[in-house]
Structures are given as structure tokens and as C-alpha cells.
Chain A
Amino acid sequence: AQTVTQSQPEMSVQEAETVTLSCTYDTSESNYYLFWYKQPPSRQMILVIRQEAYKQQNATENRFSVNFQKAAKSFSLKISDSQLGDTAMYFCAFMKHTGANSKLTFGKGITLSVRP
């Protein structure tokens, strides 16, 4: 079974600064996907970024980038130029790469507050 661990329950960052959210996972799979999802107070779960384990290049999406360390089973999210709208709960999630698959294993999440 897979496990995803987000050890920091809360973080706070000043607007326009950079923040890094940590995530570690455990799996015996060699190929898989990793995701960061954002859940603002509206509760809508929004995909932030996706990483395919077989790709060595770290994924980036505008102000969001990841540091994927496969050997260390670490998958951190860096948010640059933080904005007030980034205030949300962030979930790290794992999915096996076995054909079509919709089962995500989530971490407990981290609450990020962006201060004006």
C-alpha cells in the first residue's frame, strides 16, 4: 500500500515571497504519478501540478514548481511570488501508473496562509 505524508500542518508566508511545502511518500511501485491539489475555502479541489515519476525533469506551472527526488521519495511544492489567492489547503497525492486509474492516495494536507 502507498502512504503519503505531509508533516507540516500549517504554514504562513508573506505576500510576494516564496514558500515550499513538503511531502514524502512510500511505495514499492516504480512508475506512478504525484500531484499537488489545492482546496480553497470554497472546497473545490483544484489541480496545481502533476509529475510523472519516470520523468526526471521537475514539473512547473507558472509560479508553481516541484522538487521531485525519486530516490528519497520526496515531492515538495514551491510557490513563488505568493498571492492572497494562494491561501488554501494543499494536498499531496499519489497515483499508481497502471493504465487507466483514478485512485488517489492523499496526504493529510497543509493549510497555507498568505499574509498581506
Chain B
Amino acid sequence: KAGVTQTPRYLIKTRGQQVTLSCSPISGHRSVSWYQQTPGQGLQFLFEYFSETQRNKGNFPGRFSGRQFSNSRSEMNVSTLELGDSALYLCASSSGLAGGSGANVLTFGAGSRLTVL
């Protein structure tokens, strides 16, 4: 069973540019959530998508957005990049359904390392 796949693994951008990161969940998983990891702030929840709808959102500015496609793949976009957006962006997938032994268990991808210069 393939795991959660994130692309690209590494990317370098300059301030003011925008970036799009992609996440393919485990087959059958309908929920995709995104987290930002930085040395200073640690791991912070960005948002969650389930069946193409944003179901939950963290405290990030509107420059951070996402979407989910009908095949459950998700993308997140950061516009007008700032130096502080340099981070490891982690995607996680889950069934998205309550109940069962796998309920609420997130499986993470290897992350996309974004460097903003």
C-alpha cells in the first residue's frame, strides 16, 4: 500500500513569489491535512480538506490556501512568500471518518522543504 506522497521534496523561492505543494493521500483516504514545521514555532496545523471541502482551518493568514480534488489529492498554495514561510510542510491523510480502529489516525508524508530567499 503506497504511503502519502508529497511533491516536490525541496524547493527554493524568492520573496514575493508563490508556491504550490502537492499531496497524494493513501488510497481510500478522503481527508488530507497540512502542517507547517519550523524550528521556532514547531508543528502548526494549517487546514484540513475532506471530500473537496475545507473542514477545519488553523490560524494562518489568507496567503495560505488549499484545495482538494475529486481523487482526494490536495494542493496547498502560498502566495506573496515571506522569509518566515521557510519551513517543512507536512501533509497527512486519514480516512476522515469517525469510528473504527483507524479513526483519527494520521499518516504523514515525508514533507516538502521550502526555502524562501
Contacts and interface: CB of A to CB of B under 8 A. Distances in A.
Interface in A11-55: 33, 37, 42-47, 50
A105 B44 CA distance: 7
B81 interface: no
A27 B4 CA distance: 30
A102 B43 contact: no
B43 A91 contact: yes
B33 A44 contact: no
A109 B109 CA distance: 18
Interface residues of A, number: 23
Interface of B: 31, 33, 35, 42-45, 48, 50, 55-56, 58, 88, 90, 92, 94-98, 103-111, 113
B42 A103 contact: no
Interface of A: 33, 37, 42-47, 50, 91, 95, 97, 99-109
B80 to A, nearest CB: 26
